[in-house]
Structure 1
Amino acid sequence: MPEIAPLPLSRLTTLRAGGTPTRLVEARTTDELVSTLRDLWASGEPWLVVGGGSNLLVGDDPFDGTVVLVRTRGIERLPSPIEGRARLRVQAGHDWDELVEYAVAEGLSGIVAMSGIPGTVGAAPVQNVGAYGQEIVQTLVEVELLDEATGEVSVVPAADLKLGFRTSVLKNHYGSVAERPGVILSVTLELREVGHGEYVLQGPQLRAALGVAPDQPVTLRWVRETVLATRARKGMVLDDADPDTSSAGSFFQNAVVSASFARTLPDECPRWPVAPDLDPVTVIPLDRYDGIVPSPTSGEPDVKVSAAWLIEHAGLRKGFRLPRSRAGLSTKHALALTNRGGATAAELAELARFIQGRVQSEFGLILQPEPVLVGVEL
């Protein structure tokens, strides 16, 4: 087993918090990763898989178990059955932004808007990462998954992962466990071949963020550089010299609420309609089926509202800190909780609870955390 000297999780996560595990294992090949996890699952020992550590808040107490660092790497270009497309099979431990740079260098479009997102490729489908209107659900073909329940490796189509807004069947949401526990070994994406010349950028949200007209031609390289610059201004590109980047990115999810609730919020609160399910599945128990399938009910689609706007308009401005706390909101982005230097997980959690309470008091909804919380309560 590839065991190394334990390091505190504060050195392995972008929030710079977390105690030291009993054991630390570094898996550099898929075989090492599979055998290590199978042994851990058979023993019943507590375990935690860490890739880039960019979506974790781990408690300050020592972690009484094994942390597995996923360090597998590699990109394989494959043919696509669709003309003008190419597939990339990427190992789970590969750096996400390195993958985006590879795709841009190869003239492949579909993930360039997600430039600068920290973390590893294997974590991307778990919470359906996205930025500026692009999400991994739009390009994901399948994942290679090691199933915790069976210990078997299988190829799982993207459609079976129930990818939604920052969620999937693989994600441990705060207060609940994953619907399908397992660890991703590799990811296969299908991207569009646009080359290195100019092309028309798809996606109104991305065009608006970059100030691009609907018919204005751009290059992939220009889009990547512009997205990186935009994220850097918000403190969303890792930089050891900038404490605003010692974060888990957006700590709270943009809230998805009913249309009727959205109308109770101030008109100035940014909001976006959530696409309705145009082909809903109706399940009728056999003992109640009378031969008639009811017509689907129509209603207003849900609405996604800006968590950052809610936080700021609850009176918590960029840079806000509780007295004597080393945790604070980013000075550049109100949605990022940051470690200003030596903050504990307890301090970060205290700030998160305070924000939740202020937003609930002001607007009547409870913001949900986006990172996975281990040994931490909000």
Structure 2
Amino acid sequence: MGAVPSPVLTRALAPHTTLRVGGPADRLVEARSAAEIVEVVRAADAAGEPLLLLGGGSNVVIADEGVPGVALLVRSSGHTVEPLPDGGALVTVEAGEDWDALVAATVGAGLGGLECLSGIPGSTGATPVQNVGAYGVEIADLLVDVDLYDRRTGEVRPHVPAAELGLGYRASVLKHRDDAVVLRVRFRLRPDGTSAPIRYPELARVLGVTPGATVPAPAARAAVLGLRRGKGMVLDAADHDTWSVGSFFTNPIVPTADVPDVPGLPRWPADHDRVKLPAAWLIENAGFGRGYPAPGGRVALSGKHVLALSNRGGGTAADVLRLAGQVRDGVRSRFGVSLAPEPVLVGCAL
């Protein structure tokens, strides 16, 4: 058994989320190792207490009423690197490790693969749950396996292969369920210091390369951070545009036959005769521009990117969901396309 997990003095959850909304938990506990995480989860389950796990709090909207039971802040940290027989590098990471700090460390160590995922807030353990992706790269491209705590059996399951996680577009079998807790994550990275192939056209333009080319990983990281900052997607306490969950809506994927007949609507092919549409384009062309405010002005679309709903100060979860509902309904009315929220909604619904 590890050290005793630390209780947190305040029970408020808003300070532990990037959106800065959410009421209190009955109890708030911090765990700094995988063993402590397991200890807290087992104790809560044995007592029949509800449990909420929070990593970086970057992809969650918590109800203003708060949550019953225990909220567990996952603060385990650290990572190791070891060579693989085929020449790759295996990086093993504790679930609570800050994601962008990990990306910076791997790039600094001459490893490539994660650089296009720079600047994304949150913890490493959350990345396979959401199958986090950006600028043409997603976790599914790099993930080897995860260690899970299975709440049904009370046992730790080491080395669960990525192939068993049902990784899809911003989704996995771990999302929207609470019976498996990520303790540790492993990635296979490139040891030659080059980036993953640059697939995203905007990033390729900034780097001055053709799509499919590779570049030094530090160059790709710098370009991605520049693009994200320009869209208010890199956390900055002084910039309210970054008081958000990042992209609030996923890009809708619809059957080819259901694509709206609208001039200029961008689209990309997806699997099974379906098409991916850009949520940002749909939102903007439904009449919701940058900075569009909710009534009262405490919450608004980011002034830099319409996909982000930002807390301008004093905003509540109810304010966020009210604006999200207005945007969703406006897009549906204008284009007949339904937008789905990307963050996990805790104790609330859209």
User: Scaled by the length of structure 1, what TM-score is found?
Assistant: 0.87
**Structure-1 separation of matches of 2:294 and 2:317:** 14
Superposed CA offset, 1:196-230 (max 9, x none): xxx57613216535343238763211111111111
Aligned to 2:90: 87
Q: 1:218 aligns with which of 206, 215, 219?
A: 215
**Structure-1 separation of matches of 2:297 and 2:195:** 47
Aligned to 1:112: 115
Aligned to 2:204: 208
Aligned to 2:51: 47
Aligned to 2:183: 185
Aligned to 1:284: none
Aligned to 1:96: 99
Aligned to 2:76: 72
**Structure-1 separation of matches of 2:297 and 2:313:** 10
Q: How does 1:252-291 map to 2 (within 5 A)?
A: 252-262=249-259, 264-276=260-272
In the superposition, relative to structure 1, how do residues 331 and 110 fare at CA in structure 2: closer, same or farther (>3 Å)?
A: same
Q: 1:33 aligns with which of 20, 23, 37?
A: 37
Aligned to 1:321: 293
**Structure-1 separation of matches of 2:19 and 2:27:** 21
**Structure-1 separation of matches of 2:278 and 2:293:** 21
In the superposition, relative to structure 1, how do residues 134 and 209 fare at CA in structure 2: closer, same or farther (>3 Å)?
A: farther
Aligned to 1:362: 334
Q: Do 1:132 and 1:209's aligned partners in 2 also have CA atoms closer than 8 Å?
A: no
Q: Which amino acid counterpart does residue 46 of structure 1 have in structure 2?
A: P
**Structure-1 separation of matches of 2:347 and 2:252:** 24
Deviation at 1:267, TM superposition (A): 3.6
Q: Do 2:136 and 2:198's aligned partners in 1 also have CA atoms closer than 8 Å?
A: yes
Runs of 4+ in 1 over 4 A off after TM superposition: none
**Structure-2 separation of matches of 1:209 and 1:122:** 32
Q: Do 1:86 and 1:190's aligned partners in 2 also have CA atoms closer than 8 Å?
A: yes
1:373 aligns with 2:327: no
Secondary structure at 2:30 match in 1: strand
Q: 2:18 aligns with which of 14, 20, 30?
A: 14
Q: 1:347 aligns with which of 319, 323, 337?
A: 319
Q: Do 1:5 and 1:23's aligned partners in 2 also have CA atoms closer than 8 Å?
A: no
Q: How does 1:118-133 map to 2 (within 5 A)?
A: 118-133=121-136
Deviation at 1:37, TM superposition (A): 0.3
CA RMSD in angstroms comes to 1.6
**Structure-1 separation of matches of 2:19 and 2:183:** 25
Q: 1:248 aligns with which of 241, 245, 250?
A: 245
In the superposition, relative to structure 1, how do residues 360 and 158 fare at CA in structure 2: closer, same or farther (>3 Å)?
A: same
Q: Which amino acid counterpart does residue 153 of structure 2 have in structure 1?
A: T
Superposed CA offset, 1:120-166 (max 9, x none): 00000001001011001000000000112112111210000000000
1:334 aligns with 2:332: no
Unaligned runs of 5+ in 2: none
Q: Which amino acid counterpart does residue 345 of structure 2 have in structure 1?
A: L
Secondary structure at 1:185 match in 2: strand
Q: Do 1:210 and 1:227's aligned partners in 2 also have CA atoms closer than 8 Å?
A: no
Q: Do 1:9 and 1:20's aligned partners in 2 also have CA atoms closer than 8 Å?
A: yes
Deviation at 1:79, TM superposition (A): 2.3
Aligned to 1:285: none
**Structure-1 separation of matches of 2:302 and 2:294:** 13
Secondary structure at 1:126 match in 2: helix
Percentage of identical aligned residues: 47
Deviation at 1:64, TM superposition (A): 1.7
Secondary structure at 1:23 match in 2: strand
Superposed CA offset, 1:317-347 (max 9, x none): 0100123131110000000001000101100
**Structure-1 separation of matches of 2:312 and 2:333:** 27
Q: How does 1:136-215 map to 2 (within 5 A)?
A: 136-155=139-158, 156-172=160-176, 178=177, 181-195=179-193, 199=194, 202-205=197-200, 207-208=203-204, 210-214=206-210
Superposed CA offset, 1:161-190 (max 9, x none): 000000000001xxxxx3x73110000000
Aligned to 2:60: 56
Superposed CA offset, 1:215-248 (max 9, x none): 8763211111111111001000000000000000
Q: 2:228 aligns with which of 208, 231, 234?
A: 231
User: Scaled by the length of structure 2, what TM-score is found?
Assistant: 0.94
Secondary structure at 1:308 match in 2: helix
Q: Do 1:6 and 1:21's aligned partners in 2 also have CA atoms closer than 8 Å?
A: no
